Structure 1
């Protein structure tokens, strides 16, 4: 029996994986959890039946090194010693990229066909921003969200200056994520002097925008994300595709046709042709991290040692 977990800045997710499918899926807010010990006890209680996993893999939204981990964007921690079975931590984007073969995705740019023998890149656009590279069955985590953000338009330069007054360094994650959308909205409100009632997240407001003010925020986000994806295409030339994962990436699916996204993605002179040769997809699978974590434990990937 394989226990799979996926711990993000917003939610904790757990399930049992049988090699193809998930069962006994349970989800709760990360803010309600203190760490893996709490989660294991709560999962057992919520499932209501005796769970005796033989192996476990839990994906974490943050860097993984050694037997103890903590989240980058939430107060959550854990140790391998807390598990009742052999277990492994992996970066959440490593889990995501290992789950792609079992996930539904939609093409949004570049050629539709991928080179199945070429390397792939996963970009996690959720509460934060993550990145991973897959070559064959090997996956490698990156921390692309903490790379410096490079503005490419007048409005992005203004946003950069606004954030630079708040932070010592402006990162990709400060713009191209759920947190980034909040920053963009804060910037637009301060710049315009507009007052609006914020009953929901900036992402939800941008995603359903119909007025010019919120559409401006949507386009700042899309142009920034498109530029980052284009830069990734140039750096990696991943003909196995760039795969956008995460809750924000999925919610933005209807908007990837907007010129703000497509132009920022493609206008990478003198490398336009190379960027246009890279297939780009948005992953629709809700439980991609759980599937990937389950596959890692089930197939013994990512250095998992079978006991």
Structure 2
């Protein structure tokens, strides 16, 4: 499917409303990173990935995506629902008893679009490598995409997977880092600095692209297309995507405070006023 940048912007605004309302309704969840990644996931799912109709766990003959930083489930669920994987109305069940929309995505409820349980940080890249190598064994030319938080890169398993991907030339993989510089306890540079991330990825044998405007849909489209053009060259591809935590809600931006905190009634009203309804609330 092909959408204009304006259509993608409208969809992103509606996804932001979904995120805010979902988290507010149960007074729990992670709005900050979800809002920061809204443009990226909307663009990835509605313009970049080659997807089949329907859903099956194998994902053969289509691109597949793994969310590694599973706590940003609100944006993932909203994008999946708005893409048609399950009814948009189901977003109203987020984090409620018996829901398929758990706080962290899981597989045992059989939610379409979710291929791996995530939330225990650091594991998504390892899973994606297995899927990417399976595609090669199956003669499937499609790609595997992942998304990671920058704070997640403080986990040791990530670096084992980075080393493996480079050493084995897993070149049908595009991994994006949500490079917002913030995590639950503060700025990543203060909690545990990542140093020169581009140089580190390159030292592990990756092709690295960097995009400073990670909340600009046109810029996201451009860097994702560039990343696709770098696949098949013997190296995995990484995108360092500089985003703003809480993007689109002025009082949630510029701070780590909204990493895992829900807005109250008054705050929700202010946030929604900044993101007018575009495609219809659930």
TM bin, normalised by shorter chain, reads under 0.3
More helix by share: 2
More strand by share: 1
- Normalising by structure 2, we get a TM-score of 0.28
| Larger CA Rg, structure 1 vs 2 | 1
- Normalising by structure 1, we get a TM-score of 0.26
